[in-house]
Amino acid sequence: MELAEQADRLHRLVDENPNEAIREALSLSGNVNVDLLKAAILVDAGGIAKESEAILKGVEIFRYVIDRCEDNSELNYNLANGLHAIALAATHDGYSWYGNTEKYRLEARSLFYKSANDSKASIDTQSQSFTNLGNLLWASYRWVEAYDFYSKAMEKNPQNAVASSGALKMLRHALGQGIGDPHLLREEIEHLAYHVNNNIEGIYAYAGEYGVNGILGGIKDIRPSERPKLDFQPDDYKGFVISNNLTLSPNIHSHTRESKYWDDINISSVTSSIEDEAAVPEIFAMVNILKSYFIMARQLLFDAYQKRFNETGNYNDTLDYACYGVNESALALAQRSALDILDKISVASLSYLGVCGSKNASMKTAWFTKAKKGQNRRDLDPAIKLEIKNGNPALLALTEISRDLSSEQGFLWAKQSSRNSSTHRFTVLHDMGMSVPKGASGCVEHFDFESFVQESFQTLKLARAAVVYFVEMVLIREKRIAGEKNGISMPLFVPSHEYIRGHDE
């Protein structure tokens, strides 16, 4: 039988009888193409049948081939699928699942991100990689980031209905959590359902009949409606914010706003003991600062990229196509400012939860106990672990962002690296000619201009997601605390700063 025919038959068998597909795949032998088919069937069928041993054998084959080939986005994508399948096949025994599967999920996220951003990869591979990265992030309740990556998947392939169904699920989560305007969220959910229903072939292509049945069954209660065209110019600031989904809003998705206050996510109230001082709790000041830092970083990035800062300096040309000036420095500052927000979130979280050491906390270390000598994996601080086990997945999301930032294998590692460069050393951007020899001192680091802009933009998206998770974490905890209180409980509501200051008059 020709390999192509054999592959078609086995892929159909995966849906019809995954255990038989595994049995037949194990008997395959031959050249590297046969090995890759064998690995793919073992991973796909093993994932459906929850057969970890089969998946592991498939992963071993992919690793073997990758080690002997040039860097290949398709192979990286397949290996990531295998690692994700191992995690999904593991027994879900409460919170322990996250610890038991951490190394697989960490590596899979990195590989999906690498494939998704590989300009040499096919459009399908990029779109599927963004989709599967969204699926992985949702597994640890990182739903805001997942929504963004599902949106990226649809940008790459507008027919990717697996991605639109994923984005729909994220907004349903927001609706269920009481985060955002119910009318606006339902409206966007209906638009996404319309996209799903009109791109069923895209589901077949990416997820097969098994995926089609599951996705369509999950949205049968939604009334689909076509999305109206948005009325804005993408080259102005408002267009930049809306088209790139950068509003710091509980509604999470892009939409036109009648109010001048686009960034209206807030903590409305907290429970305070009568023994506490008669003052507004610090958590409100912290949220205000987090929001204003984000808004400033967003404006800074837009103005710097549009070269809106007036230049008053003249510079020596270093003859390596480097770009110097206030706008380039503003770009580096915008990226750094966005990452600074993450450290502030860790300080605010520990302070709110009453965990020691909040004043000096950082996103990389705040959530964990000090690692023992020779230990790679860091355990969560007991207070953090208890809050997560008590039903606070938003806090789990923050700890998993930390793991991706602090591990060299994490897909967010580069953001921390470029932030360290612009903070402690000298960041030089180039609009061409990146074949620059590294200086002997190692104090000057070189980046491609457009790549740095995109990295800064994604860092801003990450900061936005983290702010939403932080607010969600507080809302979840406050709801639980209110339910546990005996006797009389009075929530403390804080008035609008704009009203008190007369800014709305």
* Averaged pLDDT for residues 36-61: 95
Tell me the pLDDT tens digit for each residue of 376-397: 678 899 999 999 999 999 999 9
Strands 322-323 and 426-430, sheet pairing: antiparallel
Whether the predicted pLDDT of 404 surpasses 90:
yes
Q: Which residues of 184-212 are buried (b: 16+ CB within 10 A; e: fewer)?
A: bbbbbbbbbbbbbeebeebbebbbbeebb
Q: Is the dihedral of CA 62, 66, 69, 73 positive or negative?
A: positive
Q: How many CA atoms lie within 13 A of 441 on its CB side?
A: 5
Burial class (CB in 10 A: 0-12, 13-18, 19+), 285: exposed
Neighbours of 289 (CB within 10 A): 13
Predicted confidence (pLDDT) at residue 128 exceeds the cutoff of 90 = yes
Phi, psi angles (nearest 5°) of residue 444 = -110, 125
Torsional sign, CA 399, 404, 409, 415: negative
Over pLDDT 70: what percentage of the chain? 88
Distance (Å, whole) CA 276 – CA 134: 42
Dihedral (CA of 363, 241, 170, 456) sign = negative
Q: What does the alpha-carbon distance between residue 1 and residue 14 come to, in Å, rounded to a whole number?
A: 18
Residue 408: phi, psi to the nearest 5? -60, -20
How far, in Å, CA of 346 to CA of 178, rounded?
24
Percent of the chain with pLDDT over 90: 59
409-448 pLDDT, tens digit each: 999 988 876 666 666 678 889 988 665 656 667 788 888 8
* Amino acid (one-letter) located at 47: G
Q: Looking at 10-14, 35-39, 429-433, which range is the least confident one?
A: 429-433
Cross-strand pairs, 322? 430
Query: Tell me, what's the pLDDT at 91?
Result: 86
DSSP state of 432: S
H/E stretch holding 186? helix 182-197
The pLDDT of residue 477: 93
pLDDT at 234 over 60: no
pLDDT recorded at residue 437: 59
Residue 504's alpha-carbon distances to 262, 267, 317, 466, in angstroms, are: 14, 20, 49, 29
**pLDDT tens for each residue of 352-374:** 999 998 999 999 999 999 877 76
Indicate the angle between helix axes 282-305 and 326-353, nearest 10 degrees. 160
Q: Indicate the pairing of strand 491-493 with strand 269-271.
A: antiparallel
> Which of 140 and 244 is assigned the larger pLDDT?
140
Residue 221 CB contacts under 8 Å (≥ 6 apart), including other chains: none
SS3 per-residue string spanning 86-107: HHHHCCCCCCHHHHHHHHHHHH
Q: How confident is the model at residue 219, as a pLDDT?
A: 92
In one-letter notation, the amino acid at residue 243 is S
Q: State how far the alpha carbon of 199 is from the alpha carbons of 193, 206, 278, 313, in Å.
A: 10, 11, 57, 53
Question: What b-and-e string marks burial along 83-93, b requiring 16 or more CB atoms within 10 Å of the CB?
Answer: bbbbbbbeeee
Q: Find all residues with CB under 8 Å of 12, minimum gap 6, and list them.
A: none
State the Cα–Cα distance between residues 143 and 394, nearest whole angstrom. 9
Tell which residue, 369, 363, 367, has the closest CA to residue 353.
367
> How many Cβ atoms are within 10 Å of 40's Cβ, its own excluded?
21
pLDDT in the model for residue 78? 95
Alpha carbons 187 and 184: distance in angstroms, whole number: 5
Nearest to 199 by CA among 167, 245, 172: 167
Answer for the pair 410, 110: CB distance below 8 angstroms, yes or no: yes
Length of the chain: 505
Q: What single-letter DSSP state applies at residue 227?
A: P
Q: DSSP character for 392?
A: -
